[in-house]
Amino acid sequence: FFQKTLTAVKNWFTLFGWSKGQNPISIPYSLRRDVCKAQMTSSQEKVFKKNLGKDTKTFYDMLFHLSGQLLPGITSSQSLSLDPVERMLQLHWQYSTLLAFLKSQGAYLPHVMPEFLLEPDDYKKWIKVQTVLKVDVKNSDLFNDKHLFILEDSVFETMSKRAWTDVLLQMYKVFVLPRVSSLSITDLFSLESTQNIPRIKLELLSSNIYSPYERTILTWLNKHYEKNRKTVWKDCQKGEVPPVRWIVNFDRDLLDGLVLAAQLAAYCPYLIATHFVRMYTSPRTHEQFLHNCLILVNAMHAVSLAIDIKV
């Protein structure tokens, strides 16, 4: 599940996270590497340009594109010290500033420490510096070892990958989802056919899982499923019209492909006869779920959706 989430995040930010078209990323490798532009001599700069390219984009370019803001004291082409320890401390400060900024915008990242965003070698330097500090300032309030996590190399890479993925997901939540308009939400259930469907509350404190913008999307899913289920599957080949249902999450309620097919049919009704009538309307086995999802993916490819969707 986590690998699928990471792939989806990587694909979205590769396609839509940059101001001038696509820019491939790898999580966490390119995000950690490309932000480490150091001050160099002319000979070093030639090697740098050869390896990374003259116009290498950094994570801060992505942040500026999505939020319209730069972190305090940090530019999109931040240069770093040549001294390895000073460079590591500078990066740690930048990541601390990044996490504080995201949290101030509504991101939920209590489990992500700045050191988890560092390169492995820099993380080892961070642990060494903190260990020395612990010896030098024993019993001092300046040092608090309860937040010092000493991880093995393989564990650190797993933690770093998870931390960067969560940072990107929270960036999506606070900078992209708020663009979902709520102006017409009061009209989503105005149709007679949806009057008896339970409504999803959009108030800020009505859910401790989903944001108001995510609940807006759930409302949209409910509307189109209820509006279109009888139209899409009135002539279905593998069952009857699917029953009334309430979509309240983004995992279990979307597994059978029917809800997403109803959304796509709302905008591309010509796909009903060529694709959706062949779906199982009451799938029970893994094979039937897979059958439905394959049809849905084929339908998306048929309308050339610019997303790398795989089953």
- pLDDT, tens digit, for every residue of 162-204? 999 999 999 999 998 888 665 555 555 554 445 556 566 656 5
Rounded CA separation 208/256 (Å): 26
Find the length of the chain. 311
**How many CB atoms neighbour CB 73 within 10 A?**
9
**How many CB atoms neighbour CB 160 within 10 A?**
24
Both structure tokens of 97: 């500033």
Rounded CA separation 114/100 (Å): 10
**How many CB atoms neighbour CB 137 within 10 A?**
11
* Residue 239 banded pLDDT, cuts 50, 70, 90: confident
- Among the listed residues 26, 174, 156, the one whose alpha carbon sits nearest the alpha carbon of residue 99: 174
Rounded CA separation 186/10 (Å): 34
Rounded CA separation 152/10 (Å): 25
Q: What is the pTM of this model?
A: 0.60
What's the whole-number mean pLDDT along residues 254-269?
Answer: 91
What's the whole-number mean pLDDT along residues 270-277?
Answer: 91
